Homo-oligomer: A and B are copies of this chain.
Amino acid sequence: MLIRNVAVLVVPEQGECRVDEAQDIHIQDDRITAITPTTTSSPTDEEVIDGTGLVAVPGLVNSHTHSPMVMMRGAAEDLSIEDWFNQRIWPMEVNLTPERVRVGARLACAEMLLAGVTTFVDHYFHADQIAAAAIESGIRADLAPTYFSSAGADGINAAVDTTRELSRLHPRITASLGPHATYTVTDDDLKRTADIARAEGFRIHLHAAETDDQTQASLDNHGVTPVQVLERTGVLDAGALIAHGCGIRPGDLPILERYADRTAVASCPKVYLKLAMGEVTPIKGLRSAGVPVGVGTDGAAVHNTLDVWEAIRMVALTQKQREHDAEWMTLSDTLRLATRGSAAAPGLTDQIGVVEPGRQADIALVDLSAPHNQPVHDPRAALVYSVRASDVVTVLVAGKVVVRDRQLTTMDLAEVLADAKSLAHTLVDLSKGGAIQHYAP
């Protein structure tokens, strides 16, 4: 396959990103094999996608989400983080069933693919259902089956077994271990998780130091920060994706630096503002420590979208604000975070994240011709500050076209939407009482 005459976003490991005009991207099976300047004599015996007027960007990676929570979109608004968990989300999650999770995951995959998201890094229940939706839709996913210590040994074992099963399921599916958080999983269970991770080669995806309040509570109650908990339980040594990390303290950075080759942090700043958490991920410090940071949306029950473009923009804006420095988190910094950084989140650094020969052919073709992007003095600025998810025209995952002319090729969108609508009320039903967990970090 050939994507012909397309502009290509080039993201070097350091220095300025650039957009190379008039390139041909050659694809064999699931991989990019070559990128060459467009010539009039390009071969025509391949399937050709005309990239004229489009920019090829690495397929976006949603580096932390709970995809089926799209089913609760808009059902938990204007609440403190405590009430969000204890009055709405954890009581609502009593209603989870395999079918409801699958219907939600299908909707989430549709939303993400249409927006140019080609990989999502998920943390949720009934992860086998999410895997089925991902496989059907054509998207790539890293799935961590969620567990709390309150589930007991059997519950934890079942989640770990799901990780094992998912890891063997499909070339586009990888699996991680999914302890929920340092405040809902005991140190003993984290140690056991780390042992399994090291023995079987899994990564661990979990929430830690989500807010500074959590860090302070950990210090007050246990005398250690959440990051120190991750170190002493072996989670960092095994390789971890830390969701949020807004409560990472300066003193945690030297610890994280020691595990920088296998650790990453996912930042989802729309959520931090919406829940008035008071902090965002300290990306500048993490970068100094060499720790990769990716961009995510968290679940749509708080982020309201799975729009990674929106999340990328929020990272750039909130990081400039946090550091009181408009010259920091530049266009190139931001695009590198959103591509190479996000690829590191699920440990796929060598597979995805850049449009280069040898990488998976996960590519989004973006049309910058609409009025809201014009004129384009700098396409990098358009990608960070003016593009909309609706500007994504064509999407490939593993060399397969999954969105063509803004339409899904893999699923019947009308059916996906109808299924979600018909079940939506069941997810937000609070009449049964109870909750799957209580938030008291």
Contacts and interface: CB of A to CB of B under 8 A. Distances in A.
A264 to B, nearest CB: 24
A201 interface: no
A421 B326 CA distance: 28
A67 to B, nearest CB: 12
Contact of A81 (B306, B326, B377): B326
A117 to B, nearest CB: 11
Contact of A372 (B306, B330, B369, B374): B306
Interface centre among A316, A373, A382, A386 (most CB of B within 10 A): A386
Nearest to A413: B371
Contacts of A379: 74
Given A377-B424, A417-B371, A74 B326 contact: no
Contacts of A111: 371-372
A436 interface: no
A278 interface: yes
B374 A107 contact: yes
B386 A73 contact: yes
A298 interface: no
A115 B373 CA distance: 13
Contacts of A273: 317-318, 320-321
Nearest to A333: B78
A388 interface: yes
A374 B382 CA distance: 27
B389 A388 contact: yes
Interface of A: 70-75, 77-81, 84, 107, 110-111, 114-115, 270, 272-276, 278, 300, 304-307, 316-318, 320-321, 323-328, 330-331, 369, 371-379, 381-382, 385-386, 388-390, 413, 416-417, 420-421, 424, 428
Given A70-B375, A81-B326, 8 more contacts: A74-B377, A75-B377, A78-B326, A78-B330, A79-B327, A115-B372, A270-B317, A273-B320
8 smallest CB-CB distances across A and B, nearest first, come from A74-B381, A375-B424, A304-B385, A390-B390, A273-B317, A111-B371, A75-B377, A276-B326
